[in-house]
Amino acid sequence: MPGPPVDVDHLPDDPPPGVRHRTLWRLAVCVIHDHQPDAGARRCGRCGVDWPCPHRVRAERVVAAALRPPRPPRSRNQAYLDYLRQFAVPPDPP
């Protein structure tokens, strides 16, 4: 389920209610504020790489993750089965 709509260019420094990782939010917002496009909107004004820079992209992902509701808790066995699924071999086509 997506979280509430967010204007990434006007994020509050303090996390909204419900954000569990409040320090992570503040750090991500600092990165977003620091990494803005340059005048031509082709490069990051902070680090100079093509826009959007990887720092900005990752910080936006952190904010998006912070706004998602937490996953329901998994049992230890379920967590291990979920881990093993990444190694599953897809079945042969018929």
User: Does 35 help bind Zn ion (rule: CB under 5 A)?
Assistant: yes
Q: What is the size of the binding site for Zn ion (CB under 5 A)?
A: 6
Contact 82, 74 (CB under 8 A): yes
Residue 58 contacts Zn ion per CB under 5 A: no
Tell me how far apart the alpha carbons of residues 94 and 75 are, in angstroms, rounded to a whole number. Answer: 35
Q: Which of 26, 43, 55, 58 binds Zn ion (CB under 5 A)?
A: 55
Pairwise CA distance, residues 35 & 55, whole Å:
7
Contact range with Zn ion by CB under 5 A, out of 5-13, 22-30, 32-40, 75-83: 32-40
